[in-house]
Structure 1
Amino acid sequence: MMSNNELPLDAVSDFLRNNFTGLQGDLSVSRTAGGFSNPTYFVKVGDWQAVLRKQPASVSVKSAHAIDREFRVMSALHGSGVPVPEPMLYHADKDVLDTPFYIMEKIDGRVFDEYELPGVVGSRRGYYRAMCEAMAAMHKFDWQGAGLTDYGKPGNYFVRQFHGWSRQWEKFDVDENPFIDQMISWLADNIPDSELLSICHGDFRVPNVMFHPQSTEVVGILDWELSTLGHPLADVAFNTQAYHMAPDENGGLLGLDLSALGIPEESEYLDWYYELSGCEERVTTFHRVFAMFRAAVGSAGIAARGIAGNAFTSDATKTGNRLAQAYAKRGIDILMKEA
């Protein structure tokens, strides 16, 4: 058994050399900064580079670690107008590592942890436009023609997701959070009647978007672990929740001078999306609160993994609890302001 932060180098080296021809040199492995749920590593043999992504050693929520689904959806999207790394090889057995894993292309680019896009000189407008274009392209992708009709369930996506995330919250033994309970009560009575479906990323935020090293182009959408057939406005609300979060709350924008930064206002960004996607439905208070609810419960899940000793950072419990409180409080703020 290996630890959460280590790979059995000899076994990985043998596997790579047996499956990829012409590899010369020693294997080097380094853990990526992201991938809280599914451990992700850069692997390099000589000049050859790739990314290895695996399930965690202990799976707390099976649906959140289905890397076979990640591999499948990226395989369908690769080569379309939706930018994703090339999936190279999926290994379902546990003979090499202690879990299934896959190998994908390593793409070069810039990933920002904050919506302010720190380090960018001048206007951020082009980056936001490119991110919006990538999201719209994903939602317009012909998932039926790509053979993904069974990638999610038909019917009202929000009904299924609301009940699923609510059940998860009930199971977590973490800090009390009455704001989550308040959101659950309100959301239960306000689920919209819509069966609109598209490929839904599930975590479409700035940190999961890779930009070209020298331009505003999006070269890759990352971390597909929560993807499914879902309602596109769930992604849109999740993508824009930063407008309602402070910079110290997962890199939000609230309180920053957007004009000086060259960042579009939320209303303009949403108008871009509606135009690019052709979506006739509009983001409402429900979508915004639901996004905060999902983020709060997801953060509580990080805290729960920390408590169980299955996290990949030493401060997972503290960070997860802090973010769960922040997201939930912002959800209630939206309710107080808009509902």
Structure 2
Amino acid sequence: MSTGQNEGIDVEVLSYWLVKHVKGFRAPLTIERFPGGQSNPTYKLITPQKIYVMRTQPPGPILNSAHAVDREYRVIKVLGGTNTPVPIAYALCEDPDVIGRSFFVMDCVPGVIHWQPDFPDVARADRANHFDAMNIALASLHQVDPDVVGLRDFGKTGGYLERQIRRWTRQYEIDPEAGRLERMDILAAWLADNVPDDDEVSIVHGDFRCNNLVFHGDRAEVAAILDWELSTLGHPITDFAFHLMMYRVPPGIQGGGLKGMDLTALNIPNEAEYVGAYCRRTGRDGIPHLQFHVAYNLFRFAAIVHGIKGRALRGNASSGRALEVAAVLETFVDLAWSEAGLAGLR
């Protein structure tokens, strides 16, 4: 009745639950896991009438605050009543007797995912419109009032940047195998000492990039924003700056970026144009501290890569993988260092 690796999921028990909780669901059911490294495993639920998506916690013990699929379900469900494009969220299950872990079920949105930020699989004439579609989608999210949609308690409402800087500094400092980098120490201290005094609050996605978006197959429009695992209440410009890193990162680094590319030849808006479009859509005259937010996001990414380096070294200290990750780490430290304006320091 099923194909592929179901990872211990009892298809009969899951089908029974789906019949009871997802309107219109009808067996038989086939389960296929989506490829990729999602920290929350994601499955395609295939029936003769319709295809659904199930997003689950990973099997086995997890930390209390990790892999909170209930938060993902909640934000997607709420945003379904706004202009922000999200899949239809059908049902959440927190009963371990069904598949052994919490999960939720949502619509499988048809469309196209573009994996590279220069959109090489899109016709040149259409690329600018695809960038505009990304801009519209993120601006629409940041325009949603958390109080109005019932997400006032979705996260703390103040000090977001301070908390994030402390979190990623600790994450970097507690991994002894990967070692300490003097420039990372200086960056962490500089960020903590220079947090802008503009504590805006909005719903933030936390990982907004082209490969977390489903585009309509026949037009330049975002059909759904995916992967809400990192969503919370936070600073909208920090969220926007993460997305904007595509302009500051060179091709071939952690999924690649646009730095050094001929954007005019590619028919891709430059960074100033892209920022201007976001500002118009969110009612801003400009973004005074954008450079800080970009520097923070590059530091955060460096801290993540630092952790990957530590795990690689613990697995095999002489592996080529560890050397490869170490080179990527140096690149992100260089980028963060430059964005923070610390090039004159040694």
The answer as to whether partners of 2:142 and 2:203 remain within 8 angstroms in 1 is yes
CA drift at 1:47: 2.5
Q: Secondary structure at the match of 1:108?
A: coil
CA drift at 1:307: 8.1
CA drift at 1:324: 4.4
1:295 aligned onto 2:322: no
What TM-score does the superposition give when structure 1 sets the normalisation length? 0.87
The answer as to whether partners of 1:26 and 1:45 remain within 8 angstroms in 2 is yes
CA drift at 1:44: 0.6
The answer as to whether partners of 1:50 and 1:103 remain within 8 angstroms in 2 is yes
1:152 aligned onto 2:155: yes
Q: Secondary structure at the match of 2:32?
A: strand
Looking at structure 2, the residues matched to 93 and 8 of structure 1 have their Cα atoms a distance apart, in angstroms, of 14
The answer as to whether partners of 2:114 and 2:121 remain within 8 angstroms in 1 is no
Distance 1:63 1:261, change over 3 A: farther
CA drift at 1:279: 3.3
Q: Secondary structure at the match of 2:268?
A: coil
Aligned-partner residue type, residue 230 of structure 2: L
Q: Which residue of 1 aligns with 2:292?
A: 286
5+ unaligned residues in a row in structure 1: which ranges?
A: 310-314
Q: Which moved more, 1:184-193 or 1:11-20?
A: 11-20
CA drift at 1:45: 1.7
Q: Which moved more, 1:32-41 or 1:232-241?
A: 32-41
The answer as to whether partners of 2:178 and 2:307 remain within 8 angstroms in 1 is no
CA drift at 1:35: 5.3
Q: Which residue of 1 aligns with 2:15?
A: 13
CA drift at 1:334: 2.2
Q: Secondary structure at the match of 1:165?
A: helix
Looking at structure 2, the residues matched to 134 and 273 of structure 1 have their Cα atoms a distance apart, in angstroms, of 10
Q: Which residue of 1 aligns with 2:132?
A: 129
Q: Which moved more, 1:91-100 or 1:236-245?
A: 91-100
Aligned-partner residue type, residue 141 of structure 1: V
1:195 aligned onto 2:199: yes
CA offset digits 1:107-160 (Å, max 9, x no partner): 011111210112111231001111111111110112111111111112221011
Looking at structure 2, the residues matched to 47 and 97 of structure 1 have their Cα atoms a distance apart, in angstroms, of 23
CA drift at 1:57: 2.6
Structure number, greater radius of gyration: 2
The answer as to whether partners of 2:15 and 2:27 remain within 8 angstroms in 1 is no
Higher relative contact order (CA 8 A, sep 6+): 1
Looking at structure 2, the residues matched to 18 and 307 of structure 1 have their Cα atoms a distance apart, in angstroms, of 47
Q: Secondary structure at the match of 2:259?
A: coil
Distance 1:134 1:23, change over 3 A: closer
Aligned-partner residue type, residue 96 of structure 1: V
Aligned-partner residue type, residue 85 of structure 1: P
Looking at structure 1, the residues matched to 310 and 17 of structure 2 have their Cα atoms a distance apart, in angstroms, of 33
CA drift at 1:84: 0.4
Q: Secondary structure at the match of 1:29?
A: strand
Looking at structure 2, the residues matched to 78 and 287 of structure 1 have their Cα atoms a distance apart, in angstroms, of 28
Which residue of 241, 247, 253 maps to 1:243? 247
Q: Which residue of 2 aligns with 1:265?
A: 270
Mapping 1:167-246, distance limit 5 Å: 167-172=170-175, 175-176=178-179, 178=181, 179-246=183-250
Q: Which residue of 2 aligns with 1:255?
A: 260
Looking at structure 1, the residues matched to 326 and 198 of structure 2 have their Cα atoms a distance apart, in angstroms, of 32
Looking at structure 1, the residues matched to 45 and 158 of structure 2 have their Cα atoms a distance apart, in angstroms, of 41
5+ unaligned residues in a row in structure 2: which ranges?
A: none
Looking at structure 1, the residues matched to 323 and 50 of structure 2 have their Cα atoms a distance apart, in angstroms, of 38
Aligned-partner residue type, residue 162 of structure 2: V
Q: Percent identity?
A: 36
Q: Secondary structure at the match of 2:99?
A: coil
- What is the number of residues matched between the two proteins? 332
The answer as to whether partners of 1:136 and 1:277 remain within 8 angstroms in 2 is yes
Looking at structure 2, the residues matched to 26 and 303 of structure 1 have their Cα atoms a distance apart, in angstroms, of 44
CA drift at 1:275: 0.6
CA drift at 1:276: 0.5
Q: Secondary structure at the match of 1:96?
A: helix
CA drift at 1:228: 0.9
Aligned-partner residue type, residue 281 of structure 2: L
CA drift at 1:25: 4.9
Q: Which residue of 2 aligns with 1:75?
A: 77
Looking at structure 2, the residues matched to 337 and 23 of structure 1 have their Cα atoms a distance apart, in angstroms, of 57
Q: Which residue of 2 aligns with 1:92?
A: 94
